[in-house]
Amino acid sequence: MTMGDNNHHQVFDVSANGYGESKCFDDDGRLKRSGSVWTASAHIITAVIGSGVLSLAWATAQLGWVAGPAVLLLFSFVTYYTSALLADCYRSGDQVSGKRNYTYMDAVRANLGGLQVKICGVIQYVNLFGVAVGYTIASSISMMAVKRSDCFHKHGHRAACNVSSTPYMIMFGVMEILFSQIPDFDQIWWLSIVAAVMSFTYSTIGLGLGVAQVAETGKIQGSLTGISIGTEVTEMQKIWRSFQALGAIAFAYSYSLILIEIQDTLKAPPSEAKTMKKATLLSVAVTTVFYMLCGCFGYAAFGDQSPGNLLTGFGFYNPYWLLDIANVAIVVHLVGAYQVYCQPLFAFVEKTAFEWYPSNKFITKELDVPIPGFKPFKLNLFRLVWRTIFVIITTVISMLMPFFNDVVGILGAFGFWPLTVYFPVEMYIVQKKIPKWSARWISLQILSGACLVISIAAAAGSFAGVVSDLKVYRPFKTPN
């Protein structure tokens, strides 16, 4: 959704089918959307199965064999349910012919209005920014893991093999500057499909190594209640870590903040809400099966010693080439996932600039850059400059605070309840005119209240993680 696509002045061919649509344009005058259940599922899987999957063995180890899988299932249910509520808010009023809301903020504006729109915008865009930083760090950790696994292979497992993350973060930043020039969300579907394939690749390798480890030792590690107090952690640490584990699992599922933007790429009929609910069910089911397998097999393989990241925490050393493939797949996936998360943020800034300065040539002018054998690439100077600056800022912050995963945990904890639960529930109540104090209204509010408590606990756990990280913190040094 870039300024070039604001075809509000398009002339409709009303004669085409009586609905004010033509063969080329949708009912809102924009080019016909072409997304399907499959492209939407690819976008969701790309966004959801992030490197978050690799911390699930650690999260399961904190909670144990009973609570770990139960919490994973609980979050998958909540995510599916609230995403279905949110899908109904894409159009205001009628599901087939109501006014479209192009972004999450548009949906909040149409249903709730006022101050809530501003709060939603701040939470959503701060969160997207945090994800960009988190992905930069995660990709550099995987690139370092490739280097280190080769070093361990050559010099043995006892070797120091220290690697600096800075050059890898810069490399990732340069790649993102290039990909950020893809104008809008519709045009990154191919990147999403590549990224989704990569996420399956490394998740499967992580899973396979876990299964192999269990088969080799013939023992299933771990206990019903998770990491043991006394030998591994103090009672207080156990509580904080359990909260942090809730956070890790909650964020491994959250994609609501880009759900409406994904829904805006779908073709109709059938209604976009119908297609989106199918895509959500498919993606959440696939994701949950994967999460259960990775989390549980990782825990079964390592028990209380489960590393924070299955593939870079060096729970496994061999076969080293397989680890390298998995870590390269993580990097490729994160390159795509960064774009899936940042495109809504890019679009918002560009749309705002276009509305504020409609006659500014720097913002509106598009140059045709010839590409031999292809259509000329439309280069917009404002887009080039602002997106490049954005990527540079996220890269520099990543270098300064390489333990940002905990900080992203905090951002995610603040984002999970409002964006995944509160706003979808409140908008659905308004949209469907559910009477106050009816059974439906009360059950929705109980769901929202319970998720708020989980979010606060997760934020507290992540804060405790940051505090312990700061004790050993040195700028520009990634903890090996």
Domains and CATH numbers, the chain: 37-471 (1.10.4160)
What would the pLDDT profile of 458-478 be if each residue is shown by its tens digit?
888 888 877 777 777 666 555
pLDDT band, residue 146 (cuts 50/70/90): confident
Residue reference for tokens 């040539």:
361
CB atoms within 10 A of CB 103: 20
> Are 300 and 209 spatial neighbours (Cβ–Cβ below 8 Å)?
no
> Are 361 and 155 spatial neighbours (Cβ–Cβ below 8 Å)?
no
Residues whose CB falls within 8 Å of the CB of residue 97, separated by 6 or more in sequence, listed in order: 27, 91
Reply yes or no on whether the pLDDT at 426 is more than 80: yes
Q: How far apart are CA 297 and CA 221, in angstroms?
A: 9
State the pLDDT at residue 391. 94
Question: Residue 280 is which amino acid?
Answer: T
Environment class of residue 200 by beta-carbon count within 10 Å: exposed (0-12), middle (13-18) or buried (19+)? Answer: middle
> Are 75 and 455 spatial neighbours (Cβ–Cβ below 8 Å)?
no
Give the residue, 4 or 286, on which the prediction is more confident. 286
Reply yes or no on whether the pLDDT at 13 is more than 60: no
Environment class of residue 137 by beta-carbon count within 10 Å: exposed (0-12), middle (13-18) or buried (19+)? Answer: buried
Sign of the C-alpha dihedral computed for residues 112, 4, 122 and 308 taken in this order: positive
DSSP 224: T
Reply yes or no on whether the pLDDT at 143 is more than 50: yes
CA 83 to chain centre: 14
State the pLDDT at residue 18. 40
* Nearest residue to 323 (alpha-carbon basis) of 195, 151, 139, 145: 145
Angle between helices 37-48 and 320-356 (to 10 degrees): 110
pLDDT band, residue 402 (cuts 50/70/90): low
When pLDDT is averaged across residues 188-210 and rounded to a whole number, the result is 82
State the pLDDT at residue 282. 93
pLDDT band, residue 188 (cuts 50/70/90): confident
When pLDDT is averaged across residues 99-120 and rounded to a whole number, the result is 89
300: which strand partners? none
List the single range of 21-30, 175-184, 275-284 with lowest mean pLDDT: 21-30
List the single range of 61-65, 80-84, 417-421, 472-476 with lowest mean pLDDT: 472-476
List the single range of 297-301, 325-329, 461-465 with lowest mean pLDDT: 461-465
State the pLDDT at residue 77. 92
State the pLDDT at residue 206. 82
Reply yes or no on whether the pLDDT at 8 is more than 80: no
When pLDDT is averaged across residues 389-403 and rounded to a whole number, the result is 85
What would the pLDDT profile of 437-466 be if each residue is shown by its tens digit?
999 999 999 999 999 998 898 888 888 877
- The pTM is what? 0.78
DSSP code string of 369-433? E--TTSPPEEEEHHHHHHHHHHHHHHHHHHHH-TTHHHHHHHHHHHHIIIIIIIHHHHHHHHHTT
pLDDT band, residue 401 (cuts 50/70/90): confident
State the pLDDT at residue 186. 67
Give the residue, 14 or 76, on which the prediction is more confident. 76
Residue reference for tokens 């004010």:
20
Helices (H) and strands (E) in the chain, counts: 15, 4
Q: How far apart are CA 182 and CA 365, in angstroms?
A: 16
Q: How far apart are CA 84 and CA 179, in angstroms?
A: 31
What would the pLDDT profile of 153-186 be if each residue is shown by its tens digit?
788 777 777 778 888 899 999 999 888 887 776 6
CB atoms within 10 A of CB 39: 21
Reply yes or no on whether the pLDDT at 5 is more than 50: no
State the pLDDT at residue 65. 92
List the single range of 48-57, 127-136, 205-214 with lowest mean pLDDT: 48-57
When pLDDT is averaged across residues 328-344 and rounded to a whole number, the result is 86
State the pLDDT at residue 278. 94
When pLDDT is averaged across residues 215-239 and rounded to a whole number, the result is 80
Question: Residue 408 is which amino acid?
Answer: V
Q: How far apart are CA 103 and CA 82, in angstroms?
A: 17
State the pLDDT at residue 474. 63
CB atoms within 10 A of CB 224: 9
Element (H, E) at 151: helix 115-155
Token pair, residue 410, equals: 């905090």
State the pLDDT at residue 354. 85
State the pLDDT at residue 440. 94
Residues whose CB falls within 8 Å of the CB of residue 466, separated by 6 or more in sequence, listed in order: 403, 406, 407, 410
Give the residue, 68 or 97, on which the prediction is more confident. 68
State the pLDDT at residue 269. 81
> Are 263 and 277 spatial neighbours (Cβ–Cβ below 8 Å)?
no
State the pLDDT at residue 14. 39
Stated length of the chain: 480
State the pLDDT at residue 11. 39
Helix (H, G, I), strand (E, B) or coil at 249: helix
Token pair, residue 275, equals: 């297609």
DSSP code string of 357-371? -TT-HHHH-EEEE--
Reply yes or no on whether the pLDDT at 422 is more than 80: yes
Reply yes or no on whether the pLDDT at 229 is more than 50: yes
When pLDDT is averaged across residues 303-320 and rounded to a whole number, the result is 71
Q: How far apart are CA 192 and CA 187, in angstroms?
A: 10
Residue reference for tokens 């006892």:
158
State the pLDDT at residue 174. 93
pLDDT band, residue 280 (cuts 50/70/90): very high
Cα 236 to Cα 79, 112, 243, distances in angstroms: 29, 40, 11
State the pLDDT at residue 447. 93
Q: How far apart are CA 113 and CA 86, in angstroms?
A: 16
Cα 430 to Cα 175, 424, 425, distances in angstroms: 43, 10, 9
Reply yes or no on whether the pLDDT at 480 is more than 70: no
Helix (H, G, I), strand (E, B) or coil at 211: helix
State the chain's mean pLDDT as an integer: 81
